[in-house]
């Protein structure tokens, strides 16, 4: 099995070494194609107006000055030659990708691009807490990742579905189990705009995050609820975003 690994945290991110180790538990034919620089939050952007610079950093390890989407395309369509990968793994992201995160996440986008190319694809993310922010518990992803991937692959990933996996912020022995979940929704009050001034006194801005005084209780069955209960969250997500229910109502309205 040929596996293509990417991420959005960049070619030197520790989580990329983790996903490579997970991939090597499944196969010895592993290729790494990751962004040269941190591309967190770039979503499913594709570089059309800027050239892509490719750099080989080691055997079967390549850095692309572009987005995770660019990396998967470069890997599958150029670097690997005529033999397409059998599996795309994107991650392991430092931080969870749940709820509305999936819209912004470059990690999710890398897996989505693999799915668009017809390749079974997984996005892998390791949640961290305030206590483990500077030292995420990668061993949790390492312990549960390979066996979980094997089971999902054996079950057969549908052609237009990407699998979003999030590991909880706890030691492996404290993980309660694995849950198949749906995408959750949370209070977006955590987003903030931070205004500052440069050396000349001109304003500039950071979009950032802040810790809520009281977080909403996540709905049962969601990715948020699973992580809160220390379960590994596995969320199948479809490429087709059509709202079938509203489409029916709209059809009746527009007749």
pLDDT of residue 212: 62
Q: Is the pTM of this model over 0.85?
A: yes
Quick: pLDDT tens for 5-63.
999 999 999 999 999 999 999 999 999 999 999 999 999 999 999 999 999 999 999 99
Quick: pLDDT tens for 137-154.
999 999 999 999 999 999
Is 93 labelled as part of a ligand binding site? Answer: yes
pLDDT of residue 224: 97
Is 40 labelled as part of a ligand binding site? Answer: yes
pLDDT band at 131 (very low <50, low <70, confident <90, very high): confident
Quick: pLDDT tens for 167-206.
999 999 999 999 999 999 987 666 789 999 999 999 999 9
Is 247 labelled as part of a ligand binding site? Answer: no
Q: Domain 2-185+218-253 class?
A: alpha beta
Q: Which residue ranges make up each domain of the chain? A: 2-185+218-253
pLDDT band at 114 (very low <50, low <70, confident <90, very high): very high
β-pair type (2-6, 29-35): parallel
pLDDT of residue 189: 61
Is 9 labelled as part of a ligand binding site? Answer: yes
């Amino acid at each position: 099995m040929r596996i293509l690994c990417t991420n959005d945290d960049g070619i030197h991110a520790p989580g990329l070494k983790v996903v490579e180790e997970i991939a090597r538990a499944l196969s010895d034919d592993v290729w790494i194609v990751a962004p040269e620089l941190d591309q967190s939050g770039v979503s499913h952007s594709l570089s059309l107006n800027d050239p892509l610079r490719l750099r080989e950093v080691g055997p079967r390890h390549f850095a692309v000055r572009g987005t995770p989407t660019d990396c998967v395309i470069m890997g599958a369509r150029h670097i690997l030659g005529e033999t397409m990968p059998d599996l795309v793994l994107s991650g392991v992201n430092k931080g969870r990708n749940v709820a509305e995160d999936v819209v912004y996440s470059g990690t999710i986008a890398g897996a989505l691009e693999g799915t668009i190319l017809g390749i079974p694809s997984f996005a892998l993310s390791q949640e961290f807490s305030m206590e483990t922010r500077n030292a995420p518990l990668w061993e949790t992803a390492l312990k549960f990742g390979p066996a979980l991937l094997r089971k999902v692959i054996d079950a057969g990933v549908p052609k237009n579905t990407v699998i979003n996996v999030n590991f909880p912020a706890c030691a492996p022995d404290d993980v309660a189990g694995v849950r198949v979940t749906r995408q959750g929704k949370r209070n977006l009050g955590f987003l903030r705009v931070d205004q500052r001034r440069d050396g000349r006194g001109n304003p500039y801005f950071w979009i950032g995050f802040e810790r809520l005084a009281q977080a909403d209780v996540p709905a049962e069955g969601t990715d948020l609820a699973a992580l809160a209960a220390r379960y590994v969250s596995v969320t199948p997500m479809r490429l087709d975003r059509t709202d079938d229910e509203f489409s029916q109502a709209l059809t009746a309205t527009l007749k």
